[in-house]
Each structure stands twice: as structure tokens, then as C-alpha cells.
Amino acid sequence: MRILVDADVPAAEACFGALGEVVRLPGRQIDAAALRDVDALVVRSITRVNESLLAQANRLRFVGTCTIGTDHIELNALEERGIAFASAPGCNGDAVVDYVLGSLSALAERQDWRLVGRRVGVVGAGNVGARLLGRLTAMGIDCLACDPPRVEEESAEGQDLTGFVDLKTLIEDCDVLCLHTPLVHEGPHPTYHLLGAEAIAELSPGTVLLNAGRGDCVDGAALRQRLAGQGDISAILDVWEHEPAIDGALRDLAEIATPHIAGHSLDGKRRGTHMIYRALCKQLGLPVRVSLDDLLPVPPLIRLALGSGLVAEEALRLCLRAVHDVRRDHDSLLRESRRQGMAKGFDACRATYPLRREFATLEVALPEADERLVAMLRGAGFRVAAS
């Protein structure tokens, strides 16, 4: 059995090596010719699996993407050829939420405001958005959500939808907007340019817009115009239109600009690999012999002891940065895009992304049981030991 795997998929040999021959290629180099005599294909989001790619796939029987999203996969094309498919929903959801909290904390420090006391609007309450809402609520932060497909589905089931509003209300009532929607071009709820020129113009001065979903859900040209013209809102962007050749002017105007790495924790990546490995084993009728724990090394920082006297948000900021300092990712994109050019620099940042663990891997020791601080740190995702 021949298994073609994106070169950036971690632990592929450990998972798939016992199932057959593992062949590695960079995701952007996986083309139709590369799929000849391949039995299984494992990709990430940068490889578009479509009719063109499948033209020479004479033996392909399984495609897996180690990502939450599937908008880069033409599912109909796979179904017509009888090719089994699997994705990894939720694999890096916690990593993306870590990124959001770290980015908002960094921006709050830079602009001298507090996260607690702001109202956060979450657009898209799926795998990532629901986790973000849960953590923000546990931290004591006021939230609203917008997710029309979920509202329709859960309304029919009679479920409580308190806190769900339409996009217009979200824009009017929230200080921070976080986008976590899939990219949908057709149907009753398209998300392509969901935040278009009109919606961007309606953002109140002081609004923070964070996009860690899909780049095409925001009209980049309209956002650039608002940032360059009025300059009265702030943008945190991890995803972009036209990746990897993103808009350099928009990059420069964003307060935090990163190269689509929000979900790039070691835990999330290896969880995604393991989910696809399990799916392939099921497809082949083979037992799962490798566990996720087998793939995860000991974290470099296991425990952090805080002293007394810290304000809650200062303590939170210390813990966030101990695990992941998003400013490093911002600086990396700026440096490498200037050094190598935008497209090559963007991809280089992703290909050489440094080790990053999730907040849940860190235990925080507190000198006393400050209920508010314990709630904030646990809500953010850390394990807390308070005396």
C-alpha cells in the first residue's frame, strides 16, 4: 500500500508506517501525477482535492485531511469515484481558541484595555466557536453568538438559544468580533465575504475584528480601506484571501498578522494525524495500534508558580505567554515575507513553525485560592492548583 502524505503532517511515519509505504511531498507540490499508483492520500488545507487533482488517481481509495475544514475538498468528486473520505473535526479547536485568547490579551496590553468588561461576538459556533464561547463565559466575559444554520437546526429541536443573535445585532452590540465560520459559497447561508464592505463600514470605532476561520469570509480590500482610511478599528488576522500571496498592505495595517497558524499546536496537529490514522485503519479493517499519547512528548513547561499580588489579567497574560506568545508569530511573518517575498515567506513560516503546546498542558500553581483568578485561569484552559 502506498500512502502519500503532506510533508507538514507530523508523526505520519509513526502512524501510517505500519500500514504501507509512506511518501512525503510538500502540500503545494501534490499534483495529479503524484497521485498515480497511490492508494491513500493525507493532506492539509493547502492541497485542493478536486477533479483536476484526481485525474490520474488510478488506485486511490482513501483521502483524509488533517484539518477541521473541508472546503478544499470536492466531496462529490470523491463520491463519484468511490473514494472514502475522512476529516479531523475538532482536532485543533483548542489550539485556535488558545490563539484567540493570546491575541486578544496581547492587543489589550498594547492598547491599554481589559478583556474582562468587553463584549465578544462569535460568528460561527461550531467546533471552534463553541469552545471559544465556553471558555470566554467561564472566564467571566460577556458573549453573543451568530450562527444561523445552528439556530435553524436547534430551534427545530426546541433547544435553548439564549445569546444567539443575527449578524447585524452582533456588529451593533459587540466590542470584539471573532470569525470562526467555514467557507460556504452557495446555499441559504453563504459565508464568502460574510463581512463585506457594508458590514465593515458598520463596525463601530474601537471594534476589534479577529479572523481565524477562513480568509475569504472577509472582504480584504474593504477591510484594508477602513484600516487605512478611518483607522478607528483594529484587526487581528490569521487567515487571508489569496494565501500564500496575501495582501502586504493589509498585513501592515493589521495589529496582529500571522500566517494561518492559529491551529498549529503540536497537540492539535498530532491529534489530527491520529484521527485520520484511525479512519484509515477503520477503512482497511485493521486494529488501531498507535495511541495519541504515543505521539505526544512531555511539554517543555509543565508547571508555573505565580506569586501573590498579581492582578487577574496580569496573571492571565503571564500564563498565556508562557505557553504561546503570538507576537513571535507576527514578527516571523513580517520578517520572512520581507526576506523571501510574500508567498515564499508565508509558506516558510508555516513549514518551520516552532514547537507550541496547548494551554491545557500547563499547570498553574497559585499561592492562595483567589476564586476570581482561579475561575479566569481555568476558564482560559489551564490546569490550576491553588492552596
Active-site residues, by number, are: 214, 243, 260
Residue 379 annotated as binding? no
Angle value at C-alpha 322, between 263 and 361, nearest 5 degrees: 60
Rounded-to-integer distance, Cα 68 and Cα 91, Å: 7
DSSP letter, residue 352:
T
Residue for grid cell 435553548: 160
Q: Is 325 marked as a binding-site residue? A: no
Tell me: is residue 265 an annotated ligand-binding position.
Answer: no
The residue ranges of DSSP E strands in 232-299, in sequence order, are: 234-237, 256-257
Is 137 known to sit in a ligand binding site?
no
DSSP states along 147-179: -HHHHHHHHHTT---TTB--HHHHHHH-SEEEE
Sign of CA dihedral 82, 37, 68, 169: negative
Tell whether residue 45 is among the known ligand binding residues. yes
105 is in an annotated binding site: no
* Residue (of 172, 323, 324, 139) closest to 238 by Cα position: 324
Backbone angles phi, psi at 49, to 5 degrees: -95, 100
Binding-site residue positions: 45, 67, 147, 181, 238, 263
Binding-site residue positions for substrate: 45, 67
Binding-site residue positions for NAD(+): 147, 181, 238, 263
